[in-house]
Amino acid sequence: MTIRDYPTTEPGAVPDPEVAAMLAVLDAGFPDVAAMSAADARAAIFARRAAPQRLPDLPSVDDVIIDGPGGALTVRVYRPHADGPPRPVIVFAHGGGFVFCDLDSHDEFCRSMAVGVGAVVVAVDYRLAPEHPGPAAHDDMLAAVRWAAEHIATYGGDPARIALAGDSAGGNLAATVALAVRDGNPPVAAQILLYPVIDDDFDTESYRRFGTGHYNTTRAMRWYWQQYAPHGTDDVRLVPTRAETLAGVAPAVVVTAELDPPCSAGDAYAARLEADGVPVRHRRYDGLFHGFLTIPSLAATQSARTEIWAMIRETLGLD
């Protein structure tokens, strides 16, 4: 069964004043990454970030080094409860165009998700492109999921209730790994795709309408894909729509943002999941833009997070 819960605002409506002001600042100030080297783009993005506040406070947050396919791989384990019964687990891949961001860039989001859902969150510091082109990031995410299945009980997590999650490029990794483990090795209870970068089709309606002037641009998206997939995107480990069928993958929560160039692809992926018999909860946020969930100062973000935590809880059988 698919649950689509679209807002009542008309598509293309002017965002509320707070959102419009934030979007204008982001659009004017975000670096033109497509004109930079990957190293310079990372430095420019890092310079814009505030120091992590390590909030909300949690009983424990542990950086753990595990064996990854490319060597040592760091995961950060967030525990929302000091004791009690085993909690569901969310293995999370951060966004950043496959090129930048890290555990600290999404620390507040992971903490808030752990609290809001009541889950143990495992954030993955996967290898970045172009130094490590795809499917390196996919392989790291898969390794982290398999580590969680074997070891997360030590951290109060339930290995029988593991969800995959990611925002933007991380949503791509969650979707591709969901395909890789649909044989049940390991079993996965859900996939949570937050404005996911599903494919490299730049001719969709949302790319045509919102490819400029809305912070995330078509120019930048083309560059990200060039860094991540320099030899093409025919591999299902890079683009989940390359799969002949999506049947048998984990139930999905798909969140998209109207003003985001990849929005149409995310909406279409939710529809294809449904067509292939996968239970889906799909929510498109009209009037909002790519990356809004990691801007906690926005009132719209706090409202959306509350709704999304509830969808995740329902999908994991917590409500």
* Catalytic residue annotation: 168
Element holding 72 (H helix, E strand): strand 71-79
Distance CA 59, CA 136 (A): 32
Token pair, residue 11, equals: 């598509």
- In degrees, rounded to 5, the angle at the alpha carbon of residue 135 between the alpha carbons of residues 129 and 136 is 60
Structure tokens at 229: 């997939």
Our measurement of the distance from residue 309's CA atom to the centroid of its chain's CA atoms, rounded to an integer in Å, reads 14
DSSP 8-state secondary structure symbol assigned to residue 49:
P
What are the backbone angles phi and psi of residue 231, rounded to the nearest 5°? Answer: -105, 15
Dist CA 153 CA 112 (whole Å): 21
Residue 114, number of CB atoms within 10 A of its CB: 26
Helices (H), 69-129: 107-117
User: Which structure tokens are listed for 63?
Assistant: 């950086």
Q: Give me the residue label for tokens 């890092």.
A: 46
What's the alpha-carbon Rg for the chain, to the nearest Å? 18
